[in-house]
């Protein structure tokens, strides 16, 4: 990135002394690693693993790292057994983390997170006894004495963070957690001095900031994460946001970070289908109202985009969280003019948030080493081998490049004319264009690691045997399953692969057979009607008020119209979307509901003919007239080469779809490819 002068130097940090000058003086070092819970906070050997995780990101030249949320008390935990810092003993455990970051030349702040009514345990508290729609537990309403104790717990936690070696703390005041619950009318129905008027409702965060600043002194960073766009009914408006920002500055904050949306909001804010940098305009509305630096965040995933945001003055600093999961060397590569080598976050949520919400340690679809740095170690090979990888999909590309990085001689074969395998289906789905970045990354990595790439070459077992490879990896993927339905050979029947990869044109009335991830993707593809992937269309489709004059920043959704009638069918009686991603499935379900896609479960397929498809349901027999019928009924693994290679005595390894032909699963394929390559 090109250097540029900045107004974000020492004079902008009234609460910092020179020893803690972060040096945010150019565009190159104004990128922060934002907070995200990884599960390492509660994992066995978690502190050592956090040290490896954050230390690697510090080596990548990130200006400031903010940890995942740490509770100031038992009531504030994310879940039972969740991480908390309320004793010196606990603080001392964190020193291995801060030491690793400091030795790598970085700085690190600890996020203090009190979940309030979002905590998943029976000791949760809130300003009022209102159960969150995403939680089964009802909170205990805090008494005034308990409120004062909670404020002191925040201050003590910050003081302990300083003892642990942290350079600062981030006070989490957004995303619908406890502090945000006090601020919003939606969750604060109190009639005392902590509720009612806006001035009373913001008293809680301001008293916390004053107590924290008093406890830690002036030479310690305090970031306040302010909810600038709640996206829930009875949330805040822009006048309230600006007023609170000014008061937060007076109360002692060093920096204000931008929070977008509550967890219970029914508007996607960080998923792949959200346009890049979709919310920097929100931060820009606060610019000029405070003198301390403002951070902007959400769906910023390239250095070029970060530079553009800073250059036009939307914010003073840019926060990226998941992009540092995807590539710990993000900033370093950008500084060196190697942005094409960055492993870009695609905002899929599949290995990060989806893992966290089911109690697993986070990772990353495009970088399975994330949060597993001590477990997946890439070392030079002790004995260099000649290895063939067949199939240049996600698993094959990850395996081949990791093998070559370790020093092996690697040939990568694919019958197609392009890299990517099944990613070439995913990237053509509206809102999933980010998969282009993954293909771009691996294309560059194939070149830089010296993999010999052979496209448009359908290699046979005899070819591999004759070339005398020491090992062969079959990453040959899958082919669509053809269900045994009478008439399935009819010309109006199309597989999902032919529809998308061969651009076979469907008619105006379409039946989709299958309701897994592919069925949903195909239905979105069919009903998109050329919907442009822009912020303006996103606002309209999800009902966002860009003026934020309405409380919560909400407005009426504009109907998404499709010129095609689509009916989805599936055999099982389970709910549609039950197999989709934990944090993104509801988005796909809502989109298809808005586009009036009919969904029928418990189906028995009787026959396909020129009229359409005849089915049986509990309601009886029904003919669904259709111009086209798309098969999304699963996959079969491609293992044609396996028997002959095994007979020849060549060690063969199966990864990705060739190993297990479930739903198209790039996460599993890339992880298998990386892990296999790390040990061969």
| Sign of the alpha-carbon torsion through 280, 283, 288, 291 | negative
- How do 294-296 and 255-260 pair as beta strands? parallel
Q: Are strands 108-112 and 168-173 parallel, antiparallel or unpaired?
A: parallel
Adjacency order of strands within the sheet including 620-625: 604-609, 612-617, 620-625
SS (H, E, C) 497-517: HHHHHCCCCCCCEEEEECCCH
CA distances for 336 relative to 303, 341, 412, angstroms: 11, 10, 29
584, β-bridge pairs = none
Residue 191: how many other CB atoms lie within 10 Å: 9
CB-based contact 671:370 (threshold 8 Å): no
Active-site residue flag, 47? no
- How many whole angstroms separate alpha carbon 357 and alpha carbon 607? 41
Q: Are strands 612-617 and 604-609 parallel, antiparallel or unpaired?
A: antiparallel
Contact 47, 97 (CB under 8 A): yes
Q: Where are the alpha helices (DSSP H) in 164-284?
A: 178-183, 198-201, 203-216, 238-251, 280-284
Centroid of chain to Cα 127: 30
Helix (H) or strand (E) holding 678: helix 666-679
Q: How many residues does the chain have?
A: 680
- For every residue of 322-386, DSSP letters joined together read HHHHH-TTHHHHHHTT-GGG--------TTTHHHHTTTPPP--SS-TTTT-TTTS-----SS--E
CA atoms of 366 and 346, how far apart (whole Å): 8
Q: Is the dihedral of CA 248, 249, 250, 254 positive or negative?
A: positive
Q: Considering 118, 177, 413, 496, which one is annotated as catalytic?
A: 177
Quote the DSSP letter at residue 79: B
Cα dist from 173 to 114, 227, 244, 358, 411, whole Å: 9, 7, 11, 24, 52
Interatomic CA distance for residues 84 and 75, integer angstroms: 10
Cα 230 to Cα 261: distance, rounded to the nearest angstrom: 4
Catalytic residues: 177
């Amino acid at each position: 990135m090109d250097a540029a002068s900045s107004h974000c130097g020492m004079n902008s940090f009234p609460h910092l002394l020179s020893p803690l000058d972060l040096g945010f003086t150019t565009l190159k070092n104004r990128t922060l690693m934002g907070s995200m819970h990884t599960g390492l906070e509660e994992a066995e050997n978690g502190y050592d693993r956090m040290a490896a995780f954050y230390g690697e990101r510090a080596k990548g030249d990130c200006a400031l790292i903010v940890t995942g949320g740490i509770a100031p008390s038992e009531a504030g935990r994310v879940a039972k057994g969740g991480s908390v810092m309320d004793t010196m003993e606990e603080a001392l455990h964190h020193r291995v983390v801060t030491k690793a970051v400091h030795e790598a030349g970085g700085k690190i702040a600890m996020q203090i997170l009190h979940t309030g009514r979002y905590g998943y345990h029976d000791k949760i508290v809130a300003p009022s006894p209102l159960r969150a729609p995403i939680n089964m537990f009802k909170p205990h309403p805090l008494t005034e004495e308990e409120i004062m104790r909670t404020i002191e717990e925040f201050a003590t936690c910050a003081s302990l963070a300083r003892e642990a070696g942290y350079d600062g703390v981030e006070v989490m005041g957004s995303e619908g957690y406890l502090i945000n619950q006090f601020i919003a009318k939606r969750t604060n129905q109190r009639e005392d001095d902590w509720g009612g008027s806006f001035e009373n409702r913001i008293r809680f965060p301001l008293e916390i900031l004053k107590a924290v600043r008093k406890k830690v002194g002036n030479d310690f960073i305090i970031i306040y994460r302010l909810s600038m766009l709640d996206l829930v009914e009875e949330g805040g408006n822009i006048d309230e946001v600006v007023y609170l920002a000014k008061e937060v500055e007076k109360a002692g904050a060093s920096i204000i970070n931008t929070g977008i949306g509550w967890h219970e909001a029914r508007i996607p804010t960080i998923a792949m289908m959200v346009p890049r940098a979709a919310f920097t305009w929100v931060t820009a509305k606060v610019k000029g109202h405070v003198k301390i630096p403002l951070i902007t965040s959400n769906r910023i995933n390239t250095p070029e985009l970060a530079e553009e945001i800073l250059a036009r003055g939307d914010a003073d600093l840019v926060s990226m969280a998941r992009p540092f999961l995807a590539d710990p060397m993000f900033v370093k590569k950008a500084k060196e003019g190697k942005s094409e080598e960055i492993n870009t976050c695609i905002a899929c949520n599949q290995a990060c948030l989806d893992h966290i919400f089911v109690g697993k340690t986070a990772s990353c679809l495009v970088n399975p080493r994330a949060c597993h740095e001590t477990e997946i170690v890439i070392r030079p090979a002790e004995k260099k081998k000649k290895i063939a990888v067949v199939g240049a999909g996600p698993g094959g590309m990850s395996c081949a490049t990791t093998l070559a990085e370790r020093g092996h001689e690697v040939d990568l074969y694919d019958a197609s004319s392009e890299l990517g395998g099944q990613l070439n289906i995913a990237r053509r789905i509206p809102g999933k264009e980010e998969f282009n970045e993954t293909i771009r990354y691996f294309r560059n990595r194939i070149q830089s690691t010296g993999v010999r790439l052979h496209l448009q070459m359908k290699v046979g077992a005899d070819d591999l045997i004759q070339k005398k490879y020491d090992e062969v990896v079959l990453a040959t993927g899958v082919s669509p399953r053809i269900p045994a339905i009478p008439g399935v050979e009819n010309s109006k029947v199309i597989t999902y692969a032919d529809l998308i990869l061969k651009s076979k044109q469907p008619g105006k009335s379409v039946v989709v057979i299958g309701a897994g991830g592919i069925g949903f993707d195909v239905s979105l593809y069919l009903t998109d009607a050329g919907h442009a992937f822009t912020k303006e269309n996103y606002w309209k489709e999800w009902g966002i008020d860009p003026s934020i004059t309405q409380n919560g920043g909400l407005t009426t959704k504009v109907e998404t119209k499709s010129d095609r009638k689509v009916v989805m069918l599936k055999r099982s009686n389970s709910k549609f979307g039950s197999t989709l991603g934990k944090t993104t499935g509801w988005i796909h379900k809502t989109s298809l509901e808005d586009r009036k896609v009919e969904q029928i479960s418990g189906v028995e397929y009787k026959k396909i003919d020129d009229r359409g498809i005849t089915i049986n349901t509990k309601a009886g027999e029904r003919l669904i007239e259709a111009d086209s019928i798309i098969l999304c009924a699963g996959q079969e693994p491609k293992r044609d080469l396996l028997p002959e290679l095994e007979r020849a005595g060549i060690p063969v390894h199966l990864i990705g779809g060739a190993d297990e032909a479930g739903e198209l699963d790039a996460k599993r394929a890339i992880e298998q490819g990386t892990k296999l390559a790390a040990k061969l």
